[in-house]
Structure 1
């Protein structure tokens, strides 16, 4: 009996020893394979333990990455703490990414500021690629930004821009200087408010609108701040900068206010049904509420939170990007007086005296549209787009891209690449004239300010209408000079990185009404 017991013990020891040895061998093999794959990552600069390459970012990471790319190549690896990041800096690699690896790299890297207990319900920007995201994308392209709806809301855009012109005329009376970016932001915010709620949210008597504006602005400010918890996972529970806690607090407040607007609309819809009012023009909120009630075909049903997220995201995505582009356009024109005079001459020769600029006039305003394109080339609103993430491991350009790698497309560097653009640092709208077919629809990879592929910005049709109309209206309505006696050559054109790429110093200008312009 003792012999049997000893035999069983020896057998067990042999079994455990063999299993442990196999596990160790497997771990060694896996580690070896992982090490070999690590050697196949795109090249990149040496990094420090724990912090990686964080201290090589500088205050303008898009510029720092562009400088590193000159040494390490158009596809390179950086370690932001423990976050493996691949940076793409040329049109050739961008073409390969969006044409050949678009699906596998269609994931989203979500930073701590935008994480909460609800996941990413309703978010077109932060939802991972899949069935839910496809449904949201289809909604945006077939209901929100479809041409028929944009055409129907032409008067809304005209009204918001007319009010901006009026406010600027009032604020700049008597030769006073103004912060032009503030007026662009108010116009963009009220435009989104009208598209969604059919009302200006920033009226003096609208305290709820003012509060929504405040909380939405704070979220955008916090989302643009570098957060140590994103790069060093052991800090996530601590949230040392308080960015996640603060951003979620402001999001909650904004959702509460949006919820009040939504509740009022639902009550109004019930009244409209009782009155059999079928002629009322639908805004975006009406469309969302139809989906809350089962969708057009009864396929999807939105929760109240999903609607809140979609509403908030439209404000977040539509205000800062519009503001930064228009402010940079004005800055570049004032920095280049000859270009300013040329675009104003086009406007004033094409638009009859005492007439306002209309969307139908855009077909004849080629130089104005070229100014917008040139601004987007030099100053893309999101210099890295929204961060992509590898949903699975893949090979690109012969290099290994591990699963969950963050992928940044440096469209700022691509737009200034001397291999694609002649005299790339000069503001020269003429490059988009003379029969140029370059556009920002995502097919010409040297010029992708709105991205490309599946996750390209769906609001491009709206932006392509608002940007030239807003800029052209101000250039037609006023003559402009810099405030404080600053000369064009002395302008500060420094960039400031936030959620978008803004001017470090706000653009202060003096508007002088043009006599041949129609009064608002």
Structure 2
């Protein structure tokens, strides 16, 4: 089995990672592979005419002893989600049961069943799986997103919801968000004006806007370097490595790794996931740890000098300065490391992906683009830049983003919910320990729910006086719901909406020379655009709103 590795981590190329992974396989791992292959061939011949499982579990394909459907999952890598959705379609069901080793994995594409999972049975499904990647990325399950149900998760969830993402804290850091919105406009203006064809890589801009934003909110600094930065400067080497590491983390955290279902195989690194996880954490620790350590020392010095307690400047201040009832630090160093990393990767993918897809769809449908621009001109005008306070009135633009969330999620599935007890969903028995995965892909494109689901139609969401990006009925998933729902709905809405609003208000976007239409092909291994969206951008507002241009 060749390692399946995606992208780059820090300075390490895909070819380097593959070479290292292949050469690191020991004789034991090769023997294990041969043994597994022999067992699979034996069971395949013996069970060639096996019939689909019947009874109390949800419908699913025939399984083999010991491995279940693992052999099929391996054969369908790396795009396992496409195989799962193909099975759902072939079996004409909205709930599917796979068995990967001893674990039942239940995929759901029906809003009614999804609500039954996250509302009626929310308490039962409030845990997360134990995997090598999730354990690594959460510093041993110290954070609030990847940790299984338990006291640590409850503590960190409470900290995140009531302290870090509290309305009062969101208000305190509003000036940071405003500065980043302005930086976005200046950076695009510089990029377009300093290019001979005014070409802008929308994926690069949107991903690094999200990276800049979350670094400012968490660490109080856009760049890891302490050197002064220009008002229009782009990401440097460390910032590029940081965003690449975060996306690699997201692509690997719950990626159907064989050893997640056969823990005895952990350490053999048959697919290279363990090496990738370690490389990601090396990059993140190299960049995060010096800032965290400085802040912890600062807190210690302020206690020793009995300095007056100051207001939190950013999210890291909140985490570092929290105290328990005895006046001692509430969070350990590992708690802080875990939570800062989780905040980072929670904000970076969905806003950037939704905006890239929305612009791609709108370029191919000029009438949709024009309606959004007309709304911005009517609500905001051209004499000032759009602000967060305008979002409530931008219903058509919010509908465009809702449609992007519906049609084009970054992740095929929500993070798995683990059943903490035997339960029943849709009349089927779900055994304790089962992983339930709600399909973002399947919910948003379910033809039983949506008319012409593959058509980009923002108008289908214009059914309320104030359109919201949330979807309580789970007809698609933006921020999820329940105990594991995203507590940062307000922040996520602001970042997503201001990204697309500033881009549309500030610039006229057109196809590059010689391009008839934007190719909306999805990646073979995921749901992002197969190729980064590249467009021409021309300023459409008075020059003073963009600031000076500093071409090199």
**What's the offset of the Cα at 1:298?**
4.8
Alignment match of 1:182 (pick from 183, 196, 204): 204
Instruction: Report which stretch shifted further, 310-319 or 280-289.
Output: 280-289
**What's the offset of the Cα at 1:434?**
4.0
| Equivalent residue, structure 2, for 1:142 | 162
| Equivalent residue, structure 2, for 1:54 | 73
Q: Structure 1 250/78 Cα, relative in aligned 2: closer, same or farther at 3 Å?
A: same
Give distance in 2, aligned partners of 1:236 and 1:316: 24
- Equivalenced residue count is 479
Is contact 1:43-1:72 (8 Å) kept? no
Is contact 1:178-1:510 (8 Å) kept? yes
Q: Structure 1 55/118 Cα, relative in aligned 2: closer, same or farther at 3 Å?
A: closer
| Equivalent residue, structure 2, for 1:23 | none
C-alpha distance after superposition, 1:319-353 (max 9, x if no partner): 12222122112112112211011101111222232
Show the 5 A alignment for 1:258-407: 258-269=288-299, 276=307, 280-291=311-322, 294-295=323-324, 298=327, 301-407=330-436
Q: Structure 1 429/126 Cα, relative in aligned 2: closer, same or farther at 3 Å?
A: same
> In the alignment, does 2:88 pair up with 1:69?
yes
Q: Structure 1 420/155 Cα, relative in aligned 2: closer, same or farther at 3 Å?
A: same
Give distance in 1, aligned partners of 2:360 and 2:225: 28
Q: Secondary structure at the match of 1:485?
A: coil
Q: Structure 1 297/454 Cα, relative in aligned 2: closer, same or farther at 3 Å?
A: farther
Larger Rg: 1
Give distance in 2, aligned partners of 1:303 and 1:75: 41
Alignment match of 1:195 (pick from 184, 195, 217): 217
Q: Structure 1 380/211 Cα, relative in aligned 2: closer, same or farther at 3 Å?
A: closer
Give the gaps of 5 or more residues in structure 1.
Answer: 1-36
> In the alignment, does 2:106 pair up with 1:86?
yes
Give distance in 1, aligned partners of 2:259 and 2:529: 27
Is contact 1:144-1:284 (8 Å) kept? yes
> In the alignment, does 2:531 pair up with 1:505?
yes
Instruction: Pick the structure with more helix per residue.
Output: 1
Is contact 2:109-2:438 (8 Å) kept? yes
> In the alignment, does 2:70 pair up with 1:44?
no
Give distance in 1, aligned partners of 2:114 and 2:389: 34
| Equivalent residue, structure 1, for 2:42 | none
Alignment match of 1:492 (pick from 520, 535, 544): 520
Give distance in 2, aligned partners of 1:276 and 1:399: 60
Q: Secondary structure at the match of 2:176?
A: helix
Q: Secondary structure at the match of 1:483?
A: coil
Q: Structure 1 175/244 Cα, relative in aligned 2: closer, same or farther at 3 Å?
A: same
C-alpha distance after superposition, 1:402-459 (max 9, x if no partner): 1211111112211122222222221111111143777454521213322221101122
**What's the offset of the Cα at 1:44?**
0.9
CA RMSD after TM alignment: 2.9
Q: Structure 1 446/208 Cα, relative in aligned 2: closer, same or farther at 3 Å?
A: closer
Is contact 1:52-1:82 (8 Å) kept? no
C-alpha distance after superposition, 1:334-378 (max 9, x if no partner): 122110111011112222323111111122211111111111111
**What's the offset of the Cα at 1:233?**
4.1
| Equivalent residue, structure 2, for 1:172 | 192
Give distance in 2, aligned partners of 1:214 and 1:76: 33
Q: Secondary structure at the match of 2:349?
A: helix
> In the alignment, does 2:245 pair up with 1:219?
no
Q: Structure 1 178/117 Cα, relative in aligned 2: closer, same or farther at 3 Å?
A: closer
| Equivalent residue, structure 2, for 1:160 | 180
> In the alignment, does 2:157 pair up with 1:127?
no
Give distance in 1, aligned partners of 2:476 and 2:273: 33
Q: Secondary structure at the match of 2:528?
A: strand
Give distance in 1, aligned partners of 2:465 and 2:473: 12
Q: Secondary structure at the match of 1:172?
A: helix
Q: Secondary structure at the match of 1:125?
A: coil
Q: Structure 1 239/55 Cα, relative in aligned 2: closer, same or farther at 3 Å?
A: closer
| Equivalent residue, structure 1, for 2:540 | 514
**What's the offset of the Cα at 1:148?**
2.1
For normalisation by structure 1, the TM-score amounts to: 0.84
C-alpha distance after superposition, 1:245-281 (max 9, x if no partner): 3312431442243221022223444666759566655
> In the alignment, does 2:429 pair up with 1:413?
no
Give the gaps of 5 or more residues in structure 2.
Answer: 1-52, 228-235, 548-552
